[in-house]
């Protein structure tokens, strides 16, 4: 079971930091939570962070606790990769390896043994939310930012029964066509024809084009002053794919907002309301 | 005039980071602001941060922007000391020198030329709030955390006409009797009888005992699970002094809250409401 590292009372509930021995990654993993006061949480939002982030960014900067407290929901924020390893090229760049797990199960040598963030989130954390925190398995929603928005969308499409609803902030929507995604997929899957099939199976736009669906509409917010928009994010490609395939999606361009947590803080309340409503 | 370093749209307003050449400290100084959308701000809250902080802590972690936006108020958050100097012992400890200016005008060699944070806040920033941001001079309130709570209380008592209201989170209430304060005052004022008089003139409890007053009641929140409470903060000494001297003060013990920004985020809305009401 997880070890509690720190507790901070927040909006009458508890902001907490944890560490556990992950069966998925075979490493220690850290995560943070906010647990509202009172009985067991009515639902759980999984927050997936972006490149370079840890379990601390969202919980300290997004200002989500007050809204979660209002609705009686918890949030759980995993780290963005395994830590403490020394794999080839793992610590050389901000956009591959440590801090950049991309929420997939890697297949390349070394990485295949530990970089199993999809299994970690979809199986291990999903189970922990139920057993440790007492949340019903059909009231677990998923969201995230940038690389974590990619994670929320792809995990939601690949495992639609696991997540009651899916949203994203500034997600990487079509990574097989964008520099961050190409670099990560090459490193985690390789570049063979078989590897290329895995690329497509972890690309939200390609998944929708291939017929994958989530039963609930997506909610996506994207700032127009985001330095990574559109080149790394390719939001319109996902919008077009959803429209062509009848995957409902509310994709909103937010005038003047950038890629930062100031953007997330501004819109997190609306995402929490969306997930609470979808699970009711 | 200040140079704009970064802008992030937030709750329809602007979170901004600035740098200017300070006449008070004779160094470059950084500060952050949130400016609500619309006409000139209706008031300005000065936020003074605690030990080790910069202009970034409050603006990124307190979640204040939404409440400021609601009331049409701005906030300005100065750095906690001059930077870029090499004074004796300036960078040796977290609780003296850089990151630990204590919001006073130092008198010791080297520090006397630059560590003039009282003049910087009370004169230079106070003027800038009016000339650069268009806020009326009688609608400038002051608050802060820990060392910054000490700053808000002492500057409010020493310059009562400059601040429409005064509040504090986890303030150092009686620094002449607490380790942080004794170390800082020794370093910035010395230890002579004349220096000891300056110690008392920068101690909120001693100032109230000496007859200094602010026309409005103080609002102070203090967490009971704060690792620095009561030894470094000595909250009760200030409460006793205020009661004995008829200085109105609402001093609230917040059950289970600690010294962190999770505590501040929980109670910042009530402080903003307090300052808005006091200036109306």
| DSSP sequence for chain A | -PEEEEEEEETTEEEEEEEEE-TTTSSEEEEEEEE-SSSS-SEEEEEE--TT--TTHHHHHS--HHHHHHHTEEEEEE-SS--S---TTTTSBTTBBTTB-TTSB--STTHHHH-BHHHIIIIIIHHHHHHTT---TTSEEEEEBTHHHHHHHHHHHHSGGG-S-BEEES----GGGSHHHHHHHHHHH-SSHHHHHHHHHT-HHHHHHTT---SSPEEEEEETT-TTTTTTT-HHHHHHHHHHHT--EEEEEETT--SSHHHHHHHHHHHHHHHHHHH-
If you measure CA to CA, which chain A residue comes closest to B261? A60
User: Cα torsion for B19, B54, A227, A145, to the nearest 10°?
Assistant: -160
Q: Which DSSP letter does residue B217 get?
A: P
CA A147 to chain centroid, in Å, comes to 7
Terminal Cα-to-Cα distance of chain A (whole angstroms)? 29
Q: Which of A8, A9, A265 sits opposite B10 (nearest CB)?
A: A265
Cross-chain residue pair A257–B9, CB shorter than 8 Å: yes
What residues of chain A lie within 8 A of the CB of B66, using their CB?
63, 265-266
Looking at the predicted structure, is the pLDDT value of residue A100 above 90?
Answer: yes
Cross-chain residue pair B266–A63, CB shorter than 8 Å: no
Looking at the predicted structure, is the pLDDT value of residue B48 above 90?
Answer: yes
- Pair A75, A45: CB distance under 8 Å: yes
CA distance A133 to chain B (A): 21
Looking at the predicted structure, is the pLDDT value of residue B229 above 90?
Answer: yes
Which residue, B48, B150, B63, is CA-closest to B99?
B48
Distance set, CA B101 to CA B67, B85, B161 (Å): 28, 13, 23
Query: pLDDT tens, A31-40?
Result: 999 999 999 9
CA distance A182 to chain B (A): 29
Residue A255 has which token pair?
């005038």
CA distance B12 to B35: 9
CA distance A172 to A159: 18
What residues of chain B lie within 8 A of the CB of A37, using their CB?
none
Mean predicted confidence (pLDDT) in B211-220:
98
Mutation to test the A interface, candidates B262, B264, B267, most A Cβ within 10 Å:
B262
CA distance A23 to chain B (A): 31
Distance set, CA B142 to CA A84, B49, B74, B169 (Å): 44, 11, 12, 11
If you measure CA to CA, which chain B residue comes closest to A60? B61
Cross-chain residue pair B265–A11, CB shorter than 8 Å: yes
If you measure CA to CA, which chain A residue comes closest to B257? A9
Q: Which residues pair with A141 in a beta bridge?
A: A45
User: B69 φ, ψ to 5°?
Assistant: -60, -40
Query: B-side interface with A, Cβ within 8 Å?
Result: 8-12, 15, 60-61, 63, 65-66, 223, 225, 256-258, 260-263, 265-266
pLDDT band at A151 (very low <50, low <70, confident <90, very high): very high
Residues 6+ apart with CB under 8 A from B237: B173, B174, B177, B205
Distance set, CA B276 to CA B34, B58, B279 (Å): 16, 19, 5
Give, to the nearest 10 degrees, the angle between helix A179-189 and helix A193-201. Answer: 120
Mutation to test the B interface, candidates A5, A6, A7, A9, most B Cβ within 10 Å:
A9
Mean predicted confidence (pLDDT) in B30-37:
98
CA distance A43 to chain B (A): 22
Query: pLDDT tens, A220-274?
Result: 999 999 999 999 999 999 999 999 999 999 999 999 999 999 999 999 999 999 9
Which residue, A124, A42, A9, is CA-closest to A78?
A124
- Pair A252, A222: CB distance under 8 Å: yes
Cross-chain residue pair B266–A9, CB shorter than 8 Å: yes
What residues of chain A lie within 8 A of the CB of B223, using their CB?
9
Which residue, A60, A255, A248, A258, is CA-closest to A165?
A248
Looking at the predicted structure, is the pLDDT value of residue A280 above 90?
Answer: no
Sheet holding A218-223, edge to edge: A167-169, A218-223, A249-254
Mutation to test the B interface, candidates A37, A223, A262, A269, most B Cβ within 10 Å:
A262
Spans of all domains in chain A:
3-279
Terminal Cα-to-Cα distance of chain B (whole angstroms)? 29
- Pair A106, A113: CB distance under 8 Å: no
What residues of chain A lie within 8 A of the CB of B61, using their CB?
60-61
Check residue A278 and give its pLDDT. Answer: 98
Looking at the predicted structure, is the pLDDT value of residue B263 above 90?
Answer: yes
Reduced to 3 states (helix: H, G, I; strand: E, B; else coil), residue B35 is strand
Looking at the predicted structure, is the pLDDT value of residue B127 above 90?
Answer: yes
If you measure CA to CA, which chain B residue comes closest to A9? B257
For domain A3-279, give the CATH number.
3.40.50.1820
Check residue B280 and give its pLDDT. Answer: 79
Cross-chain residue pair B63–A63, CB shorter than 8 Å: yes
Query: A-side interface with B, Cβ within 8 Å?
Result: 8-12, 15, 60-61, 63, 65-66, 223, 225, 256-258, 260-263, 265-266
Check residue B184 and give its pLDDT. Answer: 98
Residue B104 has which token pair?
């006073």
pLDDT band at B220 (very low <50, low <70, confident <90, very high): very high
- Pair A38, A72: CB distance under 8 Å: yes
What residues of chain B lie within 8 A of the CB of A253, using their CB?
none
Q: Which residues pair with A35 in a beta bridge?
A: A14
Cross-chain residue pair A266–B223, CB shorter than 8 Å: no
Average pLDDT along chain B: 98
């Amino acid at each position: 079971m997880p070890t509690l590292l720190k507790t901070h009372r927040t909006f009458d509930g508890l902001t907490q930091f944890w560490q556990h021995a992950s069966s998925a990654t075979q490493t220690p993993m850290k995560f943070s939570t906010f647990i509202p006061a009172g009985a067991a949480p009515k639902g759980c939002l999984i927050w997936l962070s972006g490149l370079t982030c840890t379990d601390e960014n969202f919980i300290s900067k997004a200002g989500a606790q007050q809204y979660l407290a209002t609705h009686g929901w918890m949030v759980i924020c995993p780290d963005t990769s395994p830590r403490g390893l020394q794999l080839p090229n793992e610590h050389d760049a901000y956009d591959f390896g440590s801090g950049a797990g991309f929420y997939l199960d890697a297949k390349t040598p070394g990485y295949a043994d530990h970089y199993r963030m999809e299994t970690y989130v979809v199986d291990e954390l999903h189970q922990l939310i139920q057993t440790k925190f007492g949340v019903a398995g059909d009231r677990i929603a998923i969201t995230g930012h940038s690389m974590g928005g990619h994670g929320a969308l792809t995990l939601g499409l690949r495992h639609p029964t696991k997540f009651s609803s899916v949203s994203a902030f500034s997600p990487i929507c079509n990574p097989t066509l964008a520099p961050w995604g190409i670099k990560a997929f090459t490193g985690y899957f390789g570049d063979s024809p078989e590897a290329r099939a895995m690329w497509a199976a972890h690309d939200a736009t390609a998944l929708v084009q291939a017929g994958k669906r989530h039963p609930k509409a997506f909610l996506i917010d994207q700032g127009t002053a985001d330095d990574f928009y559109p080149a790394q994010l390719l939001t319109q490609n996902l919008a077009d794919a959803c429209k062509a395939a009848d995957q409902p999606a509310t994709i909103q361009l937010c005038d003047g907002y950038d890629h930062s947590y100031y953007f997330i803080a501004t819109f997190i309340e609306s995402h929490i309301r969306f997930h609470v409503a979808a699970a009711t």
